[in-house]
Amino acid sequence: MKNGTRIAIIVTGAVATLVAAGLVAIGGLALWGDSQKDSEGYLTTSTHRFEADTRALATENLDLDLGDADWIAQTNDLGDVRIAATSRDGKPLFVGIARTSDVESYLADVPHTTLTEMESSPFRADYARHSGQRHPVSPEHAGIWAASTHGNGQQAVDWHIEDGDWSVVVMNADGSLGVDADINAGAKVPFLDELGWSAIGSGSFALIVGIGLFVLAGRRSRTDAVTPAAAA
C-alpha cells in the first residue's frame, strides 16, 4: 500500500472516530435531558426568586422570529412553553403573556419593574424600575393576554410560541405593590429519547468504521514491510 493511501485511511479513521465521539456525546446529553422531564413532558429550569417593590414584574421584549422554523407553530408539542410562579408572601398571583406593545400600554404610568438581564450560574437578575402613579386595571380583566392564569399557590401558564414581540408579566392578582415569587420556565422538547438512541447508534457505527480503518492501515503497513523482506 502506498504511503499516501495509508495516510488517507488513517485520517479518515481519525475523522470517523471524532464524529463517533461527538454523536455519542450528543446522544448521551439527549437521553439525560429526556430523563429530566417532568410528568407532563416539560424540561424545566431551576427555580429562582424574583422580586420587585412595584405593581408588576415584566420581562423585556422577547423577539420571536421563527423564520424558516415557522413549522414549529404547527407542531402539537414542540414549541410549548410554561412559566410557573409561586408567591413567597401568600398573595394570589397573576401570570400572563401578551404582545409587548399591549403590555407597555397596560403598564403605562404604572410603577413596574423590568427584568433586563439574567445569569443562571451563579444566578443573578438585573432590573430596571419604572415610576408611575396609576393603579392598573385588574390583570385578569385587561383583555390583552395570549395566555394567563391567576390564583393562590403555584400558577403555571402554558403557551404555544408564535412569531412576534412578547413579554411575560408576573404581578399580584389585585395589582398591589410588592411582587415576590419563585419562578421557573420550561419547554416541551419531544423526540429526545429517539434522538439520543439514534445518535448513539450512529456514533457506534462510526466508531466501528474508524477502528476498522485503523486496523486496515496497520495491517497493510505490516504487509508492506514483510513483502520486501520475503522478496530478498
Long-range contacts of 119-125 (CB under 8 A, 24+ apart): 120/45, 120/46, 123/46, 123/48, 125/48, 125/50
Residue 110 φ then ψ, to 5°: -105, 130
**Confidence band (pLDDT; 50, 70, 90) for 230?**
very low
pLDDT digits (tens, 9 = 90+) for 148-196: 999 999 999 998 888 889 999 999 999 999 999 999 988 876 665 666 6
User: Could you tell me the sign of the dihedral formed by the alpha carbons of 120, 110, 173, 42, in that order?
Assistant: negative
- Amino acid 192: pLDDT: 56
- Amino acid 232: pLDDT: 45
User: In the predicted model, what is the mean pLDDT of the chain?
Assistant: 80
Q: Which of 29-43, 145-159, 185-199, 212-226 has the highest mean pLDDT?
A: 145-159
**Confidence band (pLDDT; 50, 70, 90) for 214?**
low
pTM recorded for the entire structure: 0.67
Helix (H), strand (E) at residue 21: helix 3-35
Q: Cα(127)–Cα(51) distance, rounded to whole angstroms?
A: 9
User: Could you tell me the sign of the dihedral formed by the alpha carbons of 13, 14, 19, 24, in that order?
Assistant: positive
